[in-house]
Amino acid sequence: MIIELTSADLSADPRLDDYTRLKDVKLRSKIEPERGLYMAESANVIERAIQAGHRPRSFLMSARWLESLTPLIERAAGSGDGADVPVFVAEEDVLEHMTGFHLHRGALAAMQRPLLPSLGELLATARDGAPARRVVVLENLVDHTNVGAAFRSAAALGVDAVLVTPQCADPLYRRSVRVSMGTVFQVPWTRLESWPGDIKALQEAGFTVASLALSDDSVSLDDFTALPALQRPGARLAMVMGTEGDGLGKRTIVASDYTVKIPMDHGVDSLNVAAASAVVFWATRGIGA
């Protein structure tokens, strides 16, 4: 149903609670998982979420975007007016007052958060129903931008799945989704329950676990990818990546099979995790094939 809003009075409809204080990262990071929702911003991102089978709770947009988004609403809800899914429409100043920012990408959708698979399920089916060969673990990244960028690189460079540790930023937070260009809906992922304990589960599943870190025994990425164990057909690789500042935890590095570094010049010792992930994903793209 299409509902026209003439003011930013959020008490008028409790379903508008999903859209309040969107710029409050700490609050939204807590309440969105608790409520079982996430926010999709822009027509392109909403479309990718719907293509992935995610269900909208409601839409929020300026009046000038309604006509162009009607086919997308119809695809998601079965009717151009949203049927049982509320389609809130308002002038841009009302939307800005309501959400806390200028909605310049046309629309928002409050989406129902999908249930995440177990680690075992994900590893068994991530590659279009076949077992995963290359996965990345994002350890305790706090920057949603970096999480989104890592997902985008994973999608572009053929990584089968992303695993995030219990303390890692939410891949479905609005900024992560936006930076990823919606690829968080395309790359299978789940949140680990025990870290670094789940390293053992990865190893038992046949994965070589490589921590990307600087240490006295780090192997260069070139030498690592040339190892006979990774050149054989069916090899499985898990790459563990952390923040540029704090790096990976000591227990993570100790439990891993290898510590790997990217060779660099001019005295540069590290890259931002978003850049490093793209380099590592490209360099390992032939493993397991």
User: How many Cβ atoms from other residues are within 10 Å of residue 92's Cβ?
Assistant: 15
Q: Using CA atoms, how far apart are residues 282 and 156, in angstroms rounded to an integer? A: 9
Angle between helices 144-156 and 273-283 (to 10 degrees): 20
Global confidence as pTM: 0.91
Mean pLDDT of 193-214: 96
The whole-number pLDDT of residue 274 equals 93
**Is pLDDT above 90 for 136?**
yes
**Is pLDDT above 90 for 54?**
yes
Report the chain's mean pLDDT, rounded to a whole number. Answer: 91
Give the percent of the chain with pLDDT over 70: 96
Query: At 15, is the pLDDT very low, low, confident or very high (cuts 50, 70, 90)?
Result: confident
The whole-number pLDDT of residue 13 equals 81
Mean pLDDT of 37-43: 91
- For 84-110, the pLDDT digits (tens) are 999 999 888 888 888 877 776 678 999
Contacts of 13 (CB under 8 A, 6+ apart): 3, 86, 88
Query: At 264, is the pLDDT very low, low, confident or very high (cuts 50, 70, 90)?
Result: confident
- Cβ burial 26-50 (10 Å sphere, 16+ → b, else e): eebeeebeeeebbbbbbbebbbbbb
- For 213-226, the pLDDT digits (tens) are 988 789 999 999 99
**Is pLDDT above 80 for 12?**
no
The more confidently predicted of residues 207 and 93 is 207
The whole-number pLDDT of residue 27 equals 83
Mean pLDDT of 117-144: 96
The whole-number pLDDT of residue 65 equals 87
**Is pLDDT above 90 for 254?**
yes
- Cβ burial 250-282 (10 Å sphere, 16+ → b, else e): eebbebbbbbbbbeeeeeeebbebbebbbbbbe
From 91-95, 111-115, 119-123, the region with the lowest mean pLDDT: 91-95
Supply φ then ψ for residue 72, to 5 degrees.
Answer: -70, -40
Residue whose token pair is 């260069």: 220
Give the percent of the chain with pLDDT over 90: 66
The whole-number pLDDT of residue 247 equals 81
What domains sit in the chain, N to C, each tagged with a CATH number? 2-112 (3.30.1330.30), 119-283 (3.40.1280.10)
The more confidently predicted of residues 96 and 131 is 131
